[in-house]
A and B are shown apart, each in its own frame.
Chain A
C-alpha cells in the first residue's frame, strides 16, 4: 500500500525566505512523509530587502503554529492595512489599495455602484476612499485587530505585516530545525541527472559532498540553479508589459510616521517603495534600465528617502515572468527560481505560500504521478497570470506622459484578459468576479478609481433608491467609520503593547 509510510528525501536548495518557508512547512505538516534537507550557502546571501506581505500570510503562520506577537517581535514587524499609491494616475494623486471592502461589505449590489450613481447624477459625495474602514484606519495611523461579527464596520478589513525578511528566514530556520529539518552549508557546483528519466539524483557541493534526494525544491532565487540551469525549463518573458528590470535598495532611519501601510510612490522612471518596520524604513526604487541609468536612479532615491541611510545602496537585477512550468521531473521551483513579479503589490511571499500550499496538497509519491505535477502547474500558473494582469493595470491606467517611461506603459499593448476587464469596468463599474485569488473585487475597484478609470455607467439596480437618500446614507456611513476608527489605538502604541521588538543586538 502506498500510504504505509513511504518517506521521501526532499532536498531544498537555497535558504532564503522561500527555502525556509518550504522547509518549515514540510517538516511541520508532512512529518511522516519526508526528510527535509536544506542546502544553503551563507556566502550567497538572500535578496530580502524588507518585505511587505498580503493578509494570506496569517493563515500560513497559523498553520505552522507561529504565535503572532512573537513572530512580529522577532522580525521587527509592523501592521499593514494596504498600500498607498502616490502619483500613479497623475502627479499629485494618492489613494490606498486597502485590505478591506468599501462600505459595509454587505448587500446585494456592490457599494461602489451606489457611489457611482451619486457621482453620475452630480450629487456631492465623499471620495470612495473615505468610505472604507481600512483606508480610514491607515490614514489616521491607527490599528486594532478586526472584529469577528460581520455586521460591524470594524470587521470589514484584513491585515498583513511589514517585516524584516533578513530576520524571517532565520526565525523559520529555527522552527524547521526544531522539527527535524537538516541543514548543510555549502555551494552547489554540480547537479546530476539520471540519463534516462532526466530526474535529478543528487547535487554536489564544493567540498565534494553529494546530497541525494527523491524530490528537489529549487529555492535558489534568480539564479534558478535546478529548474533553470540544470533542467533548462524555458522562461516566459513578460518584460514587454512589465519593463522594470532593476531596483536599488537603500534602508534608512525612520523620520516620519511608522505607517500601518506600505507606500508605492511613482517616480520618473518607475516607482519607489517605502516599508516602515519597527527599527528602520525600507526604501527601494524599481526602474527600467532601458530608460535610465543606475546612477540617476540611485541619486533620486537618496534624495527622496526621509532619513539617514543605514546601508550602502544595493542594486538588484531581475526579469518579469515565470518558468513555463514550475514543476518539471522531480524538481519543484518555489519563489524567485520559479518566477518574478515586481513587489508593487507585495506578492512575492504570497506566491511562495501558494506554491507551498499546492505542494503540500499534491505531495507526490517516490514515483511522481504526472497528475500531481500537472495540477500543481495549473494552480501556480493561474496565480502568476492573475497577479500579472493586476500589476500591469497600475502602469497602464495612467494619464502620465512626463517621461518616455510613462509614455511607453500608458500606450503599450496589454494582454486581452486585462483589456476585457478594463472595458467592463469602464462601461458600468463591473468587476470580473473570482471566488479565489490574490486580489478580489475591492482591490480592483481601488486601483481603477484611484487611477482615474471612471465608469461611464453603473448598475441599474443602484438607480432604485432616491438619490438624496443614498447620498445621506453614504455621508452618514463616513461618520460611523470615523467614530469607530477614532476609538482605535495609535499604530505604534498598539505595537509597543502587543509585539515590541527586542533591543537591537
Chain B
C-alpha cells in the first residue's frame, strides 16, 4: 500500500474541471486541489452543451448547492425530457421524459399491456401514459409530488443550463470550498520511468506536481493522451462527425421539453435556458449538404468513442477526455459527473494499484458502452429515406445492443445490464416511440383480459390529463421558486 493521495491537479477551466475540483474538496477536504485553467476546446461538449440529465440535480445537492444557486442564479431552466420529431416515418413525434411510463398492473410490466393493445391496433401513444411527457407537451412544469402510487410521484427533471454562467458558478463554488487556481499553460507533460506523470512543465518554466492528475481538457486529453492513445472508435454506429450551433435570446415562453428533430444527414436541436436559447445541428460530413448549417457557427469536428482505459497510473481522464459522444440525449455532462463521483468513491492510494484502477475502468467502460448503445439505438431503429439514415439502419449493432434489440423485437424483453444510465422506461420510450413493436406479447399478461388492460390504461391517461390544467408554466414555476427563496 502506498501513502494516501494528498494533492490533486485538475487540468481544465470548464464546467467539468471546476465540478471535479468542487467535488473533491467537498467530499475529501483533506486533499489539496489546484486547477490549471486551460480553456476547454469547442469539442469538449460537456463544457459547452446546455442539456443536462436529472443526475445533475443530485450531483449539485451532494455538493451542497441549492436550486436557487444552480437554476435561478445561473440562469438555468428545468426540463422534463426531449421531444423527438421525424425519426421514424409513419410515426408521430414522441417524448422521452425522465420518469415512469405507465404503472405495472397484473403480473407483468405495463409495456406488455400496451404492446398487446398496439398489436390490436388500439393503443393511445405510449407517452400518453407518462405524466412527465404529458406535462412537458403542455408546456407546464411540476416537481414530483404525492404518494408513490400517484402518476405525479415518479419522474425527475433535468436542467437546461447556460454553460458560461454555470461554469462561473461552479468555479466560484470550488474556490469557496478551497480549490486553488494556478494560472499557466502546459509546455510539456513529463513522464517518469514507469510511464506515470512526473510533473507538468509550465510555459513560465515552473513545474506543477501532484499525486493525482485529473484531465478535464476535452477529447484531446492533453495529459492522459501522453500515456497512450488507445481509443475505441464508435463511428460505425454514431456516424455524425460535425456539430454547429448558434445562440439567441431566450423565448418568451420557456418550454419544458427540448426538441431533437431528424434532418437529412443528422438531427437538429432546440433547447432554451432562462438566459439563452441554443439551436444547432449534428450531422455526418460525408452525407450533409453544407447549407444544413446556415446561420450557425463554425462546425466543430467530433470523433465519437471512448478511451480504452480512462484511468491509468496517476492520471484520470474525465468528461469528453474519457468518452466523446454527440449531444443526443445530453449525456456528456452526465458521464462527467458520474466519473467524478466514481473517482472519489474509488480513490486509491498513491501506489495506484492496477486491481483498483481496473475496477474503475470496468465500471466506467460498461457505463459508457451502454450510453453508446442507447444513442446508437436512435439511429438503428429510425426510419427515413435519406442515404445517411438508410446506411445507419443497416449497420451491425454492437453485441450488447444487438442482444437488447433482438430480445425486444422478439418478445418485448429488455435484458438487464450493470451500470446502465437510462432506465428501462427510457429505452421503452425510444423503442416504442420509434415504432419497434415486438413480434410476441408476453404470456404473463394473459391472465389479465384485454378489456381490463384497456380500461386500466384509459383510466391512467385520464388521471394524468386531469392533472395538467392545475399546473403552472415554467416562468410561473421559476417565479414561485424565487419567491420561496426570498422568504
Q: Chain A residues in contact with chain B, CB under 8 A?
A: 1-3, 5, 29-33, 63, 108, 360-363, 365, 369, 371-372, 375, 378, 420, 423-424, 427-428, 430, 432, 434-436, 456-457, 459-461, 463-464
B355 in complex: contacting residue of A365, A420, A456, CB < 8 Å: A420
Contact A33 B446 (CB under 8 A): yes
Which of the candidate stretches B92-100, B405-413, B463-471 sits at the interface with the other chain?
B405-413
Query: How many A-B Cβ pairs are below 8 Å?
Result: 88
13 extra A-B contacts, CB within 8 A, seeds A362-B411, A423-B355: A5-B446, A30-B443, A30-B444, A31-B446, A33-B446, A360-B444, A363-B444, A369-B410, A371-B407, A372-B410, A372-B411, A428-B349, A461-B27
Q: Tell me the minimal C-beta distance from B353 to chain A in angstroms.
A: 6
Taking residues whose C-beta sits less than 8 angstroms from the other chain, chain B's interface range is: 35 or more
Q: Is the CB of B441 within 8 A of A3?
A: yes
Partner of A32, one of B345, B406, B416, B446: B446
* A456 CB, nearest partner CB in chain B, Å: 5
Asked if B4 is an interface residue, CB under 8 A from chain A, the answer is yes
User: With A2-B440, A375-B407, A375-B415 as given contacts, are A32 and B447 in contact (CB-CB < 8 Å)?
Assistant: yes
B residues 48-73 near A (Cβ < 8 Å) are: 62
- Asked whether any CB of chain A lies closer than 8 Å to the CB of B418, the reply is yes
Which residues does chain A contribute within 8 Å of B442, judged by CB atoms? 361
**How far does the alpha carbon of A270 sit from the alpha carbon of B416 in the complex, in Å?**
37
Contact partners of B348 in chain A: CB under 8 A: 427-428
Inside 8 A of B413's CB, which chain A residues have their CB? 361-362, 375
Which A residues touch B62, using CB under 8 A? 108
Tell whether, in the assembled complex, residue A2 and residue B439 are in contact, meaning their CB atoms are under 8 Å apart.
Answer: yes
Whose C-beta in chain A lies nearest to the C-beta of B406? A371
Within 8 Å of chain A (Cβ to Cβ): is B486? Answer: no
Chain B residues near A (Cβ < 8 Å)? 1, 4-5, 27-30, 62, 107, 116, 119, 344-349, 353, 355-356, 358-359, 406-407, 410-411, 413, 415-416, 418, 439-444, 446-447
> How close is B469's CB to chain A, nearest CB, in angstroms?
34
B247 to chain A, nearest CB (A): 37
Q: Assuming the A-B contacts A3-B440, A375-B413, A436-B416, are A460 and B406 also in contact, with contact meaning beta carbons closer than 8 angstroms in the complex? A: no
Known: A371-B410, A464-B30. A430 touches B443 (CB 8 A): no
Chain B residue contacts of A361, Cβ below 8 A: 413, 442, 444
B347 with A460: CB separation less than 8 A:
yes
* Cβ-closest chain B residue relative to A423: B355
CB distance from B411 to the nearest CB of A (A): 7
Q: Complex: how many Å from CA A372 to CA B107?
A: 19
Asked if A424 and B359 make an inter-chain contact with CB atoms under 8 angstroms apart, the answer reads yes
Q: Do the beta carbons of A29 and B107 come within 8 Å of each other? A: yes
Q: Which residues of A contact B353 (CB under 8 A)?
A: 427
CB distance from B109 to the nearest CB of A (A): 10
- Please measure, in the bound complex, the distance between the C-alpha atom of A420 and the C-alpha atom of B358, giving whole angstroms: 10
- The 5 lowest CB-CB distance pairs between A and B, nearest first, are A32-B446, A33-B443, A423-B355, A3-B441, A371-B410
Q: Is the CB of A427 within 8 A of B444?
A: no
Would you give the shortest CB distance from A263 to chain B, in whole angstroms? 34
* Interface contact A428-B356, CB-CB below 8 Å: yes
Contacts of A457 in B (CB 8 A): 1, 349
A365 to B411, CA, bound (A): 11
Chosen A-B contacts, 30 in total, with CB atoms closer than 8 Å, are A3-B116, A29-B444, A30-B444, A30-B446, A31-B447, A32-B446, A63-B107, A361-B442, A361-B444, A365-B440, A371-B406, A371-B407, A420-B358, A423-B355, A424-B356, A424-B359, A427-B1, A428-B356, A430-B346, A430-B359, A432-B359, A456-B1, A457-B1, A459-B345, A460-B28, A460-B30, A460-B347, A461-B28, A463-B30, A464-B30
Q: Which residues of A contact B359 (CB under 8 A)?
A: 420, 424, 430, 432
**B28 surroundings in chain A (CB, below 8 A):** 460-461, 464
B407 partner residues in chain A, CB cutoff 8 A: 371, 375
- List, in ascending order, chain B residues with CB within 8 A of A434's CB: 418
Say whether A460 contacts B355, CB under 8 Å.
Answer: no
Is A461 a contact of B349 with CB atoms below 8 Å?
Answer: no
Complex formed: what's the CA distance from A435 to B62 in Å?
Answer: 22
Q: Residue on B with the closest CB to A5?
A: B446
CB distance from A265 to the nearest CB of B (A): 33
**A440→B349 CA distance, assembly (Å):** 25
Task: Report the minimal beta-carbon distance from A307 to chain B, rounded to whole angstroms.
Answer: 44
Complex interface: chain A residues within 8 A of B116 (CB) = 3
Q: How far is the CA of A371 from the CA of B407 in the complex (A)?
A: 7
Residues in A whose Cβ lies below 8 Å from that of B4: 460, 463
Chain A residues contacting B345 (CB-CB under 8 Å) are 459, 461
CB distance from B232 to the nearest CB of A (A): 22
Collect the chain A residues with CB atoms within 8 Å of residue B415's CB. Answer: 375, 378
- Of chain B, the residue at the smallest CB distance from A434 is B418
Nearest-neighbour CB distance to chain A for B27, whole angstroms, equals 6
- A430–B363 CA distance with the chains assembled, in angstroms: 14
B27: A residues at CB distance < 8 A: 461, 464
B55 to chain A, nearest CB (A): 15
* Residues from chain B with Cβ under 8 Å of A33 in the complex: 443, 446
